């Protein structure tokens, strides 16, 4: 299921319609249509920020010509959302207990440790 991506600019809650990518070797910022997937080295922008983007002196902006449009949800997205809501609302759905055992393969910054008084 695809959720609505938001503008990467701090404080902006508008939906993203464009993707900004930097080509550092060419001193170029490229603003194009919204990428299919969010990439780690690119930024999603709303229409206002995509059109108003400025770059440092000596850099060039390559901008998509035409209008930016919100991506339309596909039937697969809507079906996945409906099924997720149905699944979450099922009364007979067993509640999964979290696995707090040490060494469960997850690498997080928080871990549950055994109580030292019980040893």
Average pLDDT, rounded, for the chain:
77
Torsion of CA 39, 45, 47, 53, to 10 degrees: -120
In this prediction, residues 79-93 reach a mean pLDDT of 66
H-assigned helices in 1-119: 47-52, 75-89
Residue 112, pLDDT > 80, answer no
Question: How far does Cα 60 stand from its chain's mean position?
Answer: 26
Residue 100, pLDDT > 60, answer no
Residue 1, pLDDT > 50, answer no
Positive or negative torsion for Cα 70, 75, 78, 80: negative
């Amino acid at each position: 299921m695809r959720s609505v991506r938001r503008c990467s600019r701090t404080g902006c809650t508008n939906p993203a319609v464009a993707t900004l990518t930097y080509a550092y070797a060419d001193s170029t910022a490229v603003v194009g249509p919204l990428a299919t997937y969010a990439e780690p080295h690119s930024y999603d922008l709303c229409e206002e920020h995509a059109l108003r983007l400025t770059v440092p002196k000596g850099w060039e902006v390559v901008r998509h010509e035409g209008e930016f449009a919100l991506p339309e949800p596909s039937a697969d997205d809507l079906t996945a959302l409906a099924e997720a809501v149905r699944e979450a609302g099922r009364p007979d759905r067993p509640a999964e207990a979290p696995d707090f055992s040490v060494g469960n393969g997850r690498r997080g910054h928080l871990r549950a440790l055994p109580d030292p008084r019980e040893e």
